[in-house]
Amino acid sequence: MHLTPEMASPGAAARDATAADFLGRLPLFTALPRADLERLCSMVQDVRLAAGEVLMAEGDPGDAMYVIAEGEFEVVKESGDRQVVLARRVPGDFIGEMSLLEQAPRTATVRALADSRVFRIGQDSFRQLLTASPGAAGAILRTVGQRLRSTEAVLVQREKMAALGTLAAGLAHELNNPAAAVRRGAGQLRALLEAWQQAVVAFDALGLDGERAALARRLQGESVERMAAPSALAPLIYSEREDELLAWLEELGVAGAWELAPVLVSAGWQAGSLRQALAGFEAAHLPAVVHWLAVTTAVHDLLGDIDRGSARISELVGAVKRYSYLDQAPIQRVDVHAGLEDTLLILRHRLKQGVEVVRDYAPDLPRIEVRASELNQVWTNLVDNALDAMGGRGKLVLRTYARPGQAVVEVIDDGPGILPEIQHRIFEPFFTTKPVGTGIGLGLHIVYNIVVLEHRGQLQFESRPGRTCFRVALPIDMPPTAAAP
- CATH code for the domain defined by 2-132: 2.60.120.10
Query: What type of residue is 227?
Result: M
Between 467 and 18, the more confident residue is 467
**What does the DSSP 8-state code read for residue 209?**
-
pLDDT of residue 373: 73
Whole-number Cα distances in Å, 45 to 5, 91, 118, 132, 241: 6, 16, 8, 20, 85
Instruction: Report pLDDT for 406.
Output: 94
Rounded mean pLDDT of 339-357? Answer: 84
Of the two residues 152 and 418, the one the predictor is more confident about is 418
Amino acid at 269: W
- Note the pLDDT of residue 374: 80
Is the pLDDT at 137 greater than 70? The verdict is: no
Least confident of 32-36, 183-187, 397-401: 32-36
What would the pLDDT profile of 258-289 be if each residue is shown by its tens digit?
888 888 888 888 888 888 888 888 888 888 88
User: pTM for this structure?
Assistant: 0.47
State how far the Cα of 131 lies from the Cα of 125, in Å rounded to an integer. Answer: 10
The domain limits of the chain are 2-132, 170-315, 355-483
Share of the chain above pLDDT 90, in %: 20
Give the model's pLDDT for residue 170: 63
Least confident of 15-19, 103-107, 158-162, 285-289: 158-162
- Quick check: 354 pLDDT over 50? yes
Question: SS3 of 463, please?
Answer: strand
Q: What is the CATH number of domain 355-483?
A: 3.30.565.10
Residue 66 has pLDDT above 60, yes or no: yes
pLDDT for 324 equals: 57
Decide if 2-132 and 355-483 have a common fold. Answer: no
CA angle at 394 for the pair 392 and 395, rounded to the nearest 5°: 125
Tell me which of 292-301, 306-315, 338-347, 352-361 is least confident.
Answer: 306-315
Q: What is the Cα–Cα distance from 134 to 340, expressed in whole angstroms?
A: 51
Nearest C-alpha neighbor of 437 from the set 64, 109, 148? 109
Reply yes or no on whether the pLDDT at 424 is more than 80.
Answer: yes
Beta strands in 349-449 (DSSP E): 355-360, 368-371, 394-403, 406-413
How do residues 148-171 score in pLDDT, each as one tens digit? 666 555 555 555 555 555 566 666
Q: Distance of CA 321 to CAs 126, 241, 314, 325, 446, Å? A: 53, 46, 11, 6, 22
